[in-house]
Structure 1
Amino acid sequence: MIFQKSMRYGYLLTGILSGTLMVGYAQEEAQKDGRPATIDSIDVVRDYRPILADAVKIRQSPDMTNKRQYQPELTYNILDKKLDINTGTKRLTIQEMPFSRTQTLTNNYAKIGAGNLGTLLGEVYLSSDYWVDTRLGGYVKHLNQQGTIEEQKFSSQQIGVFGRTVLGPVTLDGEVGFNRYGTRFYGTVADLDGASLNASPAKQAFNDIYFTGELTSNYDEGASDAFSYSLKADAYSYSNAYDTKESSFALAGYINKQINVFNVGANISGDFTSVKDAAYSLGNHIGRINPYIRFQGPNYNITLGANFVAEFGDSSRTNIFPSAEVDFALIPQFAHIFGGINGDVNRTSVKELTKENPWLAALGTDNYIRNSVDRMYVFGGIKGNAGATFGYKVKAFYRRIESMPFYAIAPGTPYAFNLIYEDGDNASTIVGLEGELNVRISEVVTVGGRLNFNEFDLQQQEEAWYMPKMRLAANARFNISDKLYVDGELLFQGQTYGLVNDAGVGLGDYAITEIGDAGARKVTIPSFADLSAGAEYRATDRIGIYVRLNNMLGNDYERYLFYPRLGLNVIGGINFSF
């Protein structure tokens, strides 16, 4: 009994000591945490759920990239041994298959045709691609026509040989040929009494022997500091039926060094031209140096430089012009804005003038050659595309130009033209707008066009003679099927003006305005539209049949005064590919 009571007192004493120790330990822990030790009661109202507070949640996504710090170099030892199995089998042989093409490719063709107005056409084009890196070829063309007006005749012949070869780091190409164009001074001009002033239209013919060659470095995509260059040579001998001769030899080249995002280079050229006529001769030579630096990035291209131009020969003059351009991708691949400012000397050549107007009179004291000068040419616009189906370009420009050449009826020979120049103390100005558009509507229809607006502010001349303020050229092509193709062209030119200084020339129904005190008259040449269309049917892979209609509206319009163009003319024939 006494032992049991002692045991109870022992248990009680042990419990009191244990409680005292636990309270002391709790107070010691509370003191370690910096918080006071308290005794609170705890009421359990729900099951325990381990929820992290927002403050301890991880806010960073894990990096799932598996990066290997060390890439071991593995080696393989592959035994090149023949496995012999004595089962009667033998090595399989490759069965050669005959080569076949899905489409017959041809490099050569011949075309013949005929039509009304005495039209005859013949063409032959030959080209060889026997060598992978070399191409050689040549061509011969002939066309002649005769209009309804007396001696309204035209003929054209072309012969040429060309070649191109890739020689390692450079590409060499060139062409040599002969062009001839023949016509007559068929201008329908009369005096004040109605009598013809051109009773016997004289013949005119232009012969052009030419050569062109170029050596160009090939582009290396892997070179970050590429050095590129080019050298080009051009030469021609040009003459007409009246002993007017023009010979020219020109050398041009460029060098360019790429340094990171910079390109440093220069364009250099020399043009040596001589003109001779029965009573006229001229040495007209021009040298140019255009150094530049270009900053180029993925969405921009900025070029800064200068253009040094020296004229020498019978007269000498030196000019320095600014040269700067910028191209910025407003919306890459869809819209680029561009702009620039520059200037230059424009060589006036007999060859280019007579290609534009073949009825130029003989050169002399009153009909001479002079270069024009672009004192300032400022331009800007926007261009871009939407894939391969839509492309556009719109450009506005402002030009200050000196000695601009125009054509005027020659006194005494009103069926021929003289050159007159826009002279004055100040340069004349041209403000213009150009637009281009190319659209592939579908796999069947493709259309395109170009529109030009020009506004002239001249110092001396009354008008910009024979230069339209508006000009539109449009084209369309329709692939009706794999064998049938149809195309069309439209040319529209706005109203122009011609100058007549000969008081003895009758102007009939032309709208005229008296200008000046010397009896000069301004003649209004109406606007015109020229619509043409053609079709081709591929009868076989090698033979095609074609037809073409020119001036379908049948307008006897005039590009130059007294020289109406051909009316409706039709030509058709066959072509053969081989």
Structure 2
Amino acid sequence: MIQKWNQMIKNKILLKIIMTKMSNYRFLVFFIGVLLLSTISGQEIKNSEETFLGIGSGNRKIAKIQKSSISPEHTDTVTIIDNIKYYLEPKQFQVSYNIENIKPARLKIRATGDKLYRGYLKAGAGTYLSPLLELNYASKRSRDESWGLNSSINGSFADINGQGNTKYSDLSFGGYYQKFFMNYDLWSEVNYLRNNYQFYGLDYTDNQMYNFFGVDGNDSIAFRENDDLFKQHYDLFDMHLKLNSLNIGRDTNKLRIKSWIDFHHLQSNYNLSENNFLIGAHSGWLILDEEFLGTFELDINHVNAPTNLTLNAANIIEPSVNNQNLTTGIIRLNPHIYSRKENLVVKAGLSVQGNITEKANFHIFPDVELSYNLFKNIFIPYGGWQGNVQRNTFNDLRLENPFISEDITLQNTIQKSKLFAGIRGSLSSKFTFNLSVSFDNLDSMYFFTPDTLSSFGNKFQLKYDNLSQTTFMGEVTYQESERLKISAKGEYFIYKPLTISHAWQKPSFLFTVSAFMDLFDKIVLKSDLFLVGRRTVTAFNEPTVNNNIVLNESDEIEFINSTADDLFVFNLKSFLDMNISAEYRYNKKISGFIQFNNFTAKKYQYWTNFPVQSINVLGGVTFSF
């Protein structure tokens, strides 16, 4: 123990010497000191006293060195924070405000389109002494109103070779006015039309015809050229009114309204007069995805017509003294719903219609349509089931066939059922198509038959029968901006009349093509092509052979059958009619044009014994001012 003590004293003395000599190296001295004192224990001493055994004599006690005890502690890095709930005492502050009116924004619209001219004049002349004159004068762009006046005259003052007096003329003038209100749009139109022509459908090689009219066939020039024997003229006054609400889109839940009034008065050369009045309204309301709509119409027609037409002593058509009056009405009420669910569109409703003559007959027709959008409008299958009471006015019939007699009996056609299905769509942004088939069941369908009371078959009467009709239709359109437009439509018909043997004068098929081409705003080309199929017709007198009647292998007329009512039944040939026109625009005001009507130069017959003019060339100029 004494040795250990001595050693400690030596170490202290040595340390003191080193520290004295190396006072400038304090850091090194401190480090060496730590090493020399490393033998000192840093552990805890449990006993308060220690005994050292040494050799020699002596008894010393060394006091215990007290050190603080430090134990390691584990600190968790996850801190748990208690949820603290705050309570805010509600307190309402009184706020006052004033509403200031904001002036609505005003949109200034500037017209960027082509310059508009008020006036347009078109004048020309053609073969068969055919004049043409059109004059239009209208307002320019306006946000308040729009109006226009129009007039035209055309005709032909030369005869078709071998057909007697075939002169005709058409005169028309009228105007329209449109007023734009904040929520409504008012549109009105008034027109006057006068048509003059002749019942020229006679076979001037038939001696029976001359005997019928009491004319010497060897001296028939005056008979052929007479302007009074078979003349006809119509005067038509036409008026239309429309009042539509402007919120007509499906993006609004406001009530949408459309209303209309139509009226016409027709007067003929043989004491026929007709007045037709039609008033209607259509309204709808959009609720969620459903569109609730309704249509109402009241159609009243009054005809004052001669009971019969006869020939007087001068062989001129003369109406009877007593006229027959016929007033009929049609009421239509059509509530329906449009529902649109994603790609499916469904229309469901009923059409309640009354046909009022001497008694009222009411019909309830389905009004159902549906379509489904496939592949983003590329293909849209559709179908439906409908019915209708079709108004047959004398004016509509004479526009379809101008050679009808005034002493006909008018009946409305009842479309008891019309089933249709098809598919339409677009193969590109330029090409669209539509294919369909329909099945019609018609009551009181009219057919044109030759008249023998006041004519020798050169006028037509009406015969009614029930008809089942099947129609196949195909239509395609191609449009390249506004420069090129081409459309084609074909229809094929299958007729099954109930009592008569054939659907008189109805074509077996129709095919039409229309084309429009604009070359650099300088040259405009237009073309229309019509291909009309065979028509089965009847005659009370045996016809003579001509190029418009279907012949057999022996070049004789191929008669189909003969009955008590249908003495001679045969077919009129199919025919092709083509119209071509070209316009050269010298500038924006002046242009020149030329038209070729009936370009194939065929004197075909659409109606029995009424051949048309051969090729008609018409040229002229237009002027805008």
TM-score (structure 2 length as normaliser): 0.73
- 2:220 is matched with which residue? none
CA RMSD of aligned residues (A): 3.0
Change (3 A) 1:386 1:508: closer
* SS of the residue 1:454 aligns to: strand
The offset of 1:108, in angstroms, is 2.4
Q: Does 1:401 align with 2:429?
A: no
* SS of the residue 1:355 aligns to: helix
Q: Per-residue CA shift, 1:87-131, capped at 9, x if unaligned? A: xxxxxxxxxxxx998843324201100011010000011110363
- Give the one of 379, 386, 401 matched to 1:335: 379
What is the alpha-carbon distance in structure 2 between the residues aligned to residue 269 and residue 207 of structure 1? 26
Q: Does 1:574 align with 2:574?
A: no
Q: Is the 8 A contact 2:116 2:140 kept in 1?
A: no
- 1:119 is matched with which residue? 130
- 2:339 is matched with which residue? 295
What is the alpha-carbon distance in structure 2 between the residues aligned to residue 518 and residue 462 of structure 1? 10
Runs (5+) with no aligned partner, structure 1: 15-28, 30-98
Q: Per-residue CA shift, 1:415-470, capped at 9, x if unaligned? A: 111100114xxxx3111112222102577532112111111122112221111121
Q: Does 1:457 align with 2:457?
A: no
- Give the one of 386, 395, 406 matched to 1:351: 395
The offset of 1:332, in angstroms, is 2.3
Q: Does 1:390 align with 2:431?
A: yes
The structure with the greater share of residues assigned to strand is 1
The offset of 1:314, in angstroms, is 2.8
Give the letter for the 2:545 counterpart: G
* SS of the residue 1:225 aligns to: coil
Give the letter for the 2:463 counterpart: I
- 1:538 is matched with which residue? 585
- 2:463 is matched with which residue? 420
* SS of the residue 1:381 aligns to: strand
- 1:66 is matched with which residue? none
Q: Is the 8 A contact 2:134 2:150 kept in 1?
A: yes
Q: Is the 8 A contact 1:193 1:506 kept in 2?
A: no
Aligned residues: 490
Which structure has the larger Rg?
A: 2
What is the alpha-carbon distance in structure 1 between the residues aligned to residue 281 and residue 125 of structure 2? 44
What is the alpha-carbon distance in structure 2 between the residues aligned to residue 281 and residue 369 of structure 1? 11
Runs (5+) with no aligned partner, structure 2: 5-36, 45-73, 75-109, 214-222, 308-323, 550-556
Residue pairs, 1:82-97, within 5 angstroms: none
Residue pairs, 1:61-76, within 5 angstroms: none
Percent of pairs identical after alignment?
20
Q: Is the 8 A contact 1:194 1:506 kept in 2?
A: no
- Give the one of 254, 258, 264 matched to 1:226: 254
Residue pairs, 1:308-323, within 5 angstroms: 308-323=352-367
Give the letter for the 2:442 counterpart: I
Residue pairs, 1:160-309, within 5 angstroms: 160-189=174-203, 193=207, 195-196=209-210, 199=223, 201-219=229-247, 224-279=252-307, 280-309=324-353
Q: Does 1:508 align with 2:550?
A: no
Change (3 A) 1:158 1:297: farther
* SS of the residue 2:392 aligns to: coil
- 2:525 is matched with which residue? 486
* SS of the residue 2:498 aligns to: coil
Q: Per-residue CA shift, 1:6-41, capped at 9, x if unaligned? A: x99999x99xxxxxxxxxxxxxx9xxxxxxxxxxxx
The more displaced of 189-198 and 374-383 is 189-198
The offset of 1:168, in angstroms, is 0.9
What is the alpha-carbon distance in structure 1 between the residues aligned to residue 565 and residue 349 of structure 2? 47
The more displaced of 222-231 and 389-398 is 222-231
Moved beyond 6 Å, runs of 4+: 7-11, 99-102
The offset of 1:308, in angstroms, is 0.6
Give the letter for the 1:155 counterpart: S
Give the letter for the 1:307 counterpart: S
Q: Per-residue CA shift, 1:523-578, capped at 9, x if unaligned? A: 21000000110100111220010000001110000000000011100111000012
Give the letter for the 1:545 counterpart: G
- Give the one of 139, 161, 165 matched to 2:150: 139
Give the letter for the 2:201 counterpart: G
Give the letter for the 1:471 counterpart: L
What is the alpha-carbon distance in structure 2 between the residues aligned to residue 100 and residue 165 of structure 1? 19
Q: Does 1:470 align with 2:517?
A: no
Change (3 A) 1:202 1:361: same
Q: Per-residue CA shift, 1:485-538, capped at 9, x if unaligned? A: 1111100001111112x2x45443443233324562212100000011010011
Change (3 A) 1:275 1:101: closer
Change (3 A) 1:102 1:527: closer
Q: Is the 8 A contact 1:530 1:552 kept in 2?
A: yes
What is the alpha-carbon distance in structure 2 between the residues aligned to residue 410 and residue 252 of structure 1? 37
- 1:61 is matched with which residue? none
Q: Is the 8 A contact 2:542 2:568 kept in 1?
A: no
Give the letter for the 1:551 counterpart: N
What is the alpha-carbon distance in structure 2 between the residues aligned to residue 522 and residue 115 of structure 1? 37
Give the letter for the 1:384 counterpart: G
* SS of the residue 1:404 aligns to: strand
The offset of 1:398, in angstroms, is 0.8
